[in-house]
């Protein structure tokens, strides 16, 4: 700084020749700078700088000395020390993480352990004991919700929510089927489906006073009586479905015919009776009684093995006598096996 003031003083020397003596001052306002003192204190070689009062004695060219000019002084560049960075004061910055029950401010909001111990159970008192962790103590009592819409008056018991009795879902309407759904609660379904009697010849409805009614539909309404041997089924006046039986007549008087599962069955003159003689006449089949006393089977039982024909019919004979005269057997007769003689345990 002193070197800079020296240069400024020298430059202004030529403009201040009217100052007395060799001491002059450059100033402005209340601040003045004593250039002579500054020049004396500067570490400048005597052979490089001349005093202001004796400028011509300096080693300068004549024209320069006469003009009162001095060459610019060489100023060494100032050395700037590297800036020192002061260390940051205070603790390291807080990095927020989810709050936990540990006595610390994990989420950096200034509070500790906020809302960290909620177990979602209305029947417990949830508290945080800091580093000791969470505690969940059962409540003494209180209302709660067990999540089942088919219970009412739920209450806490031993730290759990106990469901109450079922709700009253009966709406007093005979035309609804009342039930309860665990998610939605009472359900009142239309009872129209419950009034269906399965008969296509009735109109099924529900009356709020009478309940279900099943009135006959119009006569002639198409239906299905479930019989494959009928056709053109239609509803009658009484609400019944019927149709015309299939015609299986083949025009032969010596055949027997009928309908089975929608198909006609035709056989010759036979009545499947072992006690008749089957013949065919011009008027059709004739079944005459056969020989009396012919063996037959009237009931399909082995306990009546002596059935015989009498006047075209098979008559059941007397029951077999299965008594074997043995006191140590129990005698009986089985329709399939005949007489059975079962030993009596312990009998000798």
Residue 309 pLDDT:
97
Q: Does any domain span residue 141? A: no
Q: Does any domain span residue 43? A: yes
Dihedral sign, Cα of residue 215, residue 218, residue 223, residue 227: positive
Domain boundary residue, one of 67, 94, 124 = 67
Domain boundary residue, one of 43, 67, 91 = 67
Q: Does any domain span residue 11? A: yes
Q: How many domains does the chain have?
A: 2
Q: Which domain holds residue 36?
A: 2-67
Q: How far is 272 from 233, CA to CA, in rounded Å?
A: 33
**First vs last C-alpha separation in the chain:** 151
Residue 73 pLDDT:
52
In DSSP terms, 281 is beta-bridged to 284
Residue 124 pLDDT:
92
- Tokens 């400028």 correspond to 55
Q: Does any domain span residue 50? A: yes
List the structure tokens of 111: 């509070």
| Burial per residue of 290-321, b for 16 or more beta-carbon CB atoms within 10 angstroms, e otherwise | beeeeebebeebebbeebbbeebebeebeeee
Residue 14 pLDDT:
47
Helix, strand and coil in the chain, % to nearest 5: 10, 30, 60
Is the whole-model pTM more than 0.75?
Answer: no
- Tokens 């209180």 correspond to 142
Given a contact cutoff of 8 angstroms between Cβ atoms, the answer to whether 16 and 31 are in contact is no
Residue 332 pLDDT:
96
Q: Does any domain span residue 320? A: no
Per-residue pLDDT of the chain (348 residues; tens, 9 = 90+): 445 444 544 444 444 444 444 444 444 333 333 434 444 444 443 444 334 344 444 444 444 444 444 455 555 555 655 555 555 566 678 899 988 888 888 889 888 777 778 888 999 998 888 888 888 999 888 899 999 999 999 999 999 999 999 999 998 888 888 999 999 999 998 877 778 889 999 999 888 788 888 999 999 999 999 999 999 999 999 999 999 999 998 888 888 888 999 999 988 888 889 999 999 888 888 899 999 999 999 999 999 999 999 999 999 999 999 999 999 999 999 999 999 999 999 998
Q: Does any domain span residue 88? A: no
Half-sphere exposure of 204 (CA within 13 A, CB side): 13
Q: Does any domain span residue 250? A: yes
Domain boundary residue, one of 236, 268, 289 = 289
Q: Does any domain span residue 308? A: no
Given a contact cutoff of 8 angstroms between Cβ atoms, the answer to whether 21 and 53 are in contact is yes
């Amino acid at each position: 700084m002193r070197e800079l003031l020296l240069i400024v003083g020298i430059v202004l020397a030529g403009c201040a020749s009217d100052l007395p003596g060799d001491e002059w001052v450059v100033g402005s306002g209340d601040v003045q700078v004593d250039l002579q003192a500054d020049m004396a204190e500067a570490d400048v070689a005597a052979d490089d700088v001349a005093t202001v009062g004796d400028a011509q004695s300096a080693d300068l060219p004549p024209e320069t000395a006469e003009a009162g000019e001095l060459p610019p002084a060489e100023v060494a560049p100032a050395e700037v020390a590297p800036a020192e960075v002061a260390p940051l004061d205070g603790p390291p910055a807080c990095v927020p993480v989810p709050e936990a029950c540990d006595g610390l401010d994990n989420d950096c909001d200034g509070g500790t352990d906020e809302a960290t111990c909620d177990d979602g159970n209305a029947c417990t008192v949830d508290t945080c004991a800091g580093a000791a962790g969470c505690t969940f103590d059962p409540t003494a009592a209180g209302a709660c919700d067990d999540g089942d819409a088919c219970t009412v008056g739920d209450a806490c018991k031993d730290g759990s929510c106990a469901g109450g009795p079922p709700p009253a879902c009966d709406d007093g309407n005979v035309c609804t089927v009342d039930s309860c759904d665990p998610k939605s609660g009472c359900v009142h379904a239309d009872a129209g489906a419950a009034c269906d009697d399965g008969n296509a010849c009735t109109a099924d409805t529900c009356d709020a006073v009478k309940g279900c009614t099943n009135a006959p539909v119009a006569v002639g309404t198409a239906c299905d009586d479930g019989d494959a041997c009928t056709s053109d089924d239609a509803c009658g006046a009484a609400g019944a479905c019927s149709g015309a039986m299939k015609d299986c007549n083949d025009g032969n008087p010596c055949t027997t015919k009928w309908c089975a599962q929608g198909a006609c069955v035709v056989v010759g003159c036979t009545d499947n009776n072992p006690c008749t003689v089957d013949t065919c006449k011009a008027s059709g089949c004739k079944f005459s009684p056969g020989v009396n006393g012919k063996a037959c089977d009237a009931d399909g039982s082995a306990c009546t093995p002596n059935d015989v024909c009498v006047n075209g019919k098979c008559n059941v004979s007397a029951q077999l006598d299965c008594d074997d005269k043995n006191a140590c057997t129990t005698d009986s007769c089985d329709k399939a096996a005949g007489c059975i003689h079962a030993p009596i345990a312990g009998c000798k």
